[in-house]
Chains A and B, each alone.
Chain A
Amino acid sequence: MASIARRQPRPPAWRRALPENLTAWSFVLPASLLVLGLGFFPVIWSFLLSTKSSNGFGPEHGVGLANYRALAHDPEWLAAVSRSLKFTALYVPVTVLLGLGLALLLNQKIRFIGFYRTCFFVPFVASAAATGVIFLYVLDPQYGIVDNVIAWMGLSRQQFLDDPDQALFLLAPIYTWTAVGFDILIYLAALQDVPQDQHEAARIDGAGRLAVFWHVILPAVRPITVLAVVWETINALQFFDIAWATKRGGPIDATTVIIVYGYKLGFVDGEQGLGAAVACVLFLAIVALVLMQVGYARWRKLDVV
C-alpha cells in the first residue's frame, strides 16, 4: 500500500515541454475558432473591403480611407444616422420598461403562469420576415384589420407603413413586440434572485408596495437594467430585418436606418466599399458603447460583466 502512496511519477519529457494550460486550451479551442471565424474574420474582412472601391462584380482597387471621407460628406448617411438615433430613442426606453413591468406581472404564483410567460416569449422566437409580413397585413391601408376598425369607429383611415411620416414610428413598437420577450426573461430571472429576507424586512419596517419596489426591487435589478439598456441599444442601432422585410427601407427613405442604408449602398447601388465602411463605423460605435457599459459597471461595482 505504501508504495502506491508514494509521490506521483514524473510526467514524460514531451509532456513537460507543453504548457500547463494545454488541457484548458484544448477545451476552448474549438469554440474560439468558431468565434474567430464567425465574428472576428468578418470584421477584418469588412474593414479591408471598406478601403476598396468595389461593385461586387467588377475589378476592385484600393482607395485608402476615401470611403470614410465620402461618408462624412454624405447627407443621406447623416439622415440614416439620425433615423437610427430616433428609432433608438423610441424603442429602447419603452422596451426595457415594458420588459420590467411585464416581468413583475408574470412573477406571481397564479394558475397557468407558464402559459402566460410562453405567450410573451413566442414573438421573440418568431422570424423577423414572418413578423414583417404579419404586420404588413394587419396594417394594410386597404384590407388591414386595424384600418377597418379605425374606419368603423368613424375615424379617418391611416396609411400606416405606407406613410413616410408614420412608418418609422410604427416600426419601433413592432420591434418592441418581437423583442420584449427577452427583457421579460432576464428580468424574471433577476426578480427571482431578489432575497426574500429583504422583502420581509422592508415589510416589517412598514414599507408599502411602492416603497418595496423602489427601495428593494429596483436596486436589486439594476445590473440587469444596465445590461438590458445596452443590449437593446445595440439591437436598435443594428435594426434591419423588419425594416427590410416590410418596406425595403421605404416609403422613399423613411425607414432607411443605418444598416438598411449600408445594405442599399453595398447591394443595390453596387458600392460595396462604402457599404462596408458603414458597417465598420457602426461596429466602432457599438464597441465604444460596450466599453462605456463595462466602465459604468466597474465604477458602480455592478456584478454584470
Chain B
Amino acid sequence: MKKIPLIVAAIALVALTATSVATARPAAGKPVDITIWHAQTDAAQKAIHTLVTQFNKTHPGIVVNDQLGSNGDEMVQKLQAVIGSGNYPDIAYVYGSDVPNVSQSSKVVDISKDIKATGFDWNSLYEAGRKTATVGTKVVGFPAVIDNLAVVYNKKLLKAAGVAPPKASWTWSDFRAMAKKLTNASKDIYGTGFPISGSEDTTWRLWPMIWQQGGEILDPTNKQALFGGAQGVKALQLLSDMTLKDKSLYADQTPDSQKMYGLFDSGKMAMVVTGPWQLEDIQGHHISYGVQVLPSFGGSHETISGPDVYMVFNHSDARRKAAVTFLAWLHQPAQDLQWDLATSNLPLSAKTAALPGMSQFDAKFAGIGLFVKNLANAHHIRPPVTGYTQLSVAVGKAIATSLLGRGSPKDTLAQAAKAADKALS
C-alpha cells in the first residue's frame, strides 16, 4: 500500500507541469504568437507566405506563423483531432460546406465585435462570402476565397481535333459530343475529367447540374433529400455514360484531384470543369486555354459558388484579437489584390474589384473576367446544415460507384438519399 502515494505524487507532478504549460501567458511586451493553417500549396502557398511576412514586418506586436495544416479536403479531420488536444491553430482554412459543422465547437466564438474594433468595413465584402462566414448570428471567420465553376479548355487540343470552341449557349449534350470527339486513346488524351475521390470536390459538381433542371438538393425544411430525383439521375447518368460508354471522361480517384489537373496541365485532357483558382497553375504549364460558362440543361447555365472560410478559433482574448487583426489586414483591398494577382482567385470585395490594379488581373489571367461575370450565374447555396458533411460523403460515394460502373445512377443516388435523410433527421 505504501507505493500508492509515490505514484500519486508522480501523477500530480506530471499534472502540475501540464497545467503550468497550459496557463503560460506571454509576458507583457512580448509579441502575441498565432498560427494559421492555410491549406494552400504551390503558388498560393508562396503568396500567403509573402503576405504573412509583410504583416509580421509591419505589426511588431503580433507574430503570425503560416503552416499548411492539411490539404483542404482533410482539414476537418485534422481539426477534429487537434481541437481535443488543445493544439489547434488560431485560424484555419475550412470549406464553406463544413463551416456549420465545425462551428459547433466551443472554440468557435462570435468575432463580430473584434472585427468592429479593428475598424474593418465588414460590409464591403461580397455577400456570398459574408453569408458563408456567418452561422446563425455568429460571425465565425473571414471569407478566404470566392469561386465558381466554369469550363476551361485547351485551345490546341480543340484545334487539333477540329472542334470549334464552345459557345456561351452550349448544352450538356454538346459537352458530351465534344468530349467524345476530343478523346484520343492512342495518344492517351481524355475529353474531360471528374474527381471521384468521394470528397466534397466530387459532390458539389453535381449540384449545378441539378439546379439547372429546376431540381433541389433538399426540401425547403432541410429535412429530406431531393437530389435522388429525376434531375439528379439525369445528371449522373450523363457523367456515367461519358465515363463508361464514351470513355471520354477520366474518373480521378486521387485526393485533391491532382491527377485530373495534372492531365490537363500536361496537355492530356481537353476540357476540365474547374474554378478560377486553377488558372495560375494552368498558366504555369504554358497551356493555351479558353474559359466558357458551364453547359446548360434547358437553357440555364447556373453554376455553384462555394466560398471557403478562414475560421477563427479562440485560445485567449489576446490571440483571438491578433487573429482578427491579421485577417482584417489580409482583406484590405491592397492585400486582396496582391493575393488575387498571385493566385488567380477572385476579389473578395467590390472595393478590391474597383482598384485600378485590377486591369492587371484581367491581363495576367486570360478568361478570369468570365469567372467574375459567372458569379451572376450562382443563385443557390449549399444547404447550411450540420448534416451536410455526411450527405456530401454519401453523394460522393454514389457518384464514384456509378462512374466505376458498380451501380446505376438511380440506385446509388437512392441509397445516398437514404443515408442523407438519416443524417438530417
Contact = CB atoms under 8 A, between A and B. Distances in A.
A57 B253 contact: no
B400 A250 contact: yes
Nearest to A162: B253
A251 B255 CA distance: 11
Interface in B149-168: none
Interface residues of A, number: 27
Contacts of A253: 397
A56 B3 contact: no
Contacts of B406: 164, 252
Contact of A18 (B2, B104, B105, B188): B2
A72 B397 CA distance: 22
A140 B416 CA distance: 29
Interface stretch (B76-84, B234-242, B345-353, B362-370): B76-84
B197 A252 contact: no
A58 B80 CA distance: 10
Given A58-B104, A252-B401, A252-B404, A247 B253 contact: yes
A297 B119 CA distance: 74
B101 A251 contact: no
B138 to A, nearest CB: 14
A223 interface: no
B255 A248 contact: yes
Contacts of A214: none
Size range of the interface on B?
20 to 34
B65 interface: no
A17 B2 contact: yes
Contact of B253 (A22, A55, A58, A251): A251
B198 interface: yes
A162 B188 CA distance: 17
B188 A252 contact: no
A15 B166 CA distance: 91
Interface string A37-77: 00000000000000000011111000000000000000000
A267 B400 contact: no
Contacts of A268: 76-77, 389, 393
Interface in A243-263: 247-248, 250-253
Given A58-B104, A247-B253, A267 B3 contact: no
Given A164-B406, A252-B401, A270 B390 contact: yes
Interface in B351-401: 386, 389-390, 393, 397, 400-401
B186 to A, nearest CB: 12
By DSSP majority rule, is chain A's interface helix, strand, loop, or mixed? loop
Nearest to A248: B255
B334 interface: no
B102 interface: yes
Contacts of A164: 404, 406
B404 A25 contact: no
A12 interface: no
Interface in B46-86: 76-77, 79-81, 83-84
B21 interface: no
Contacts of B389: 268-270
A39 to B, nearest CB: 16
Contact of B197 (A56, A250, A266, A267): A250
Given A55-B101, A57-B104, A58-B104, A19 B2 contact: yes
A25 B3 contact: yes
Contacts of B101: 55, 57, 270
Contacts of B197: 248, 250
Contact of A272 (B80, B105, B397): B80
A25 B400 CA distance: 57
B177 interface: no
B104 to A, nearest CB: 3
Interface string B1-44: 01100110010001000000000000000000000000000000
Nearest to B103: A57
A82 interface: no
A25 B7 CA distance: 10
A218 to B, nearest CB: 44
Contacts of B2: 17-19
A25 B390 contact: no
B83 A56 contact: yes
A266 B406 CA distance: 26
A186 to B, nearest CB: 34
A65 B254 CA distance: 37
A57 B393 contact: no
Interface in A119-162: 142, 162
Given A19-B2, A57-B105, A268-B77, A251 B400 contact: yes
A164 B83 CA distance: 34
A29 B10 CA distance: 9
A150 to B, nearest CB: 15
13 contacts: A17-B2, A33-B14, A56-B80, A56-B83, A57-B101, A57-B104, A247-B253, A250-B253, A252-B400, A253-B397, A266-B80, A267-B76, A267-B77
Given A19-B3, A33-B10, A250-B197, 17 more contacts: A22-B3, A25-B3, A33-B14, A57-B83, A59-B104, A248-B197, A248-B198, A250-B198, A250-B253, A252-B198, A252-B400, A253-B397, A269-B389, A269-B393, A270-B76, A270-B389, A272-B80
Interface of B: 2-3, 6-7, 10, 14, 76-77, 79-81, 83-84, 101-105, 188, 196-198, 253, 255, 386, 389-390, 393, 397, 400-401, 404, 406
For the complex of A and B, list the 7 residue pairs with the smallest distance between their C-beta atoms, beginning with the closest. A58-B104, A56-B80, A267-B77, A57-B105, A57-B104, A252-B401, A269-B390
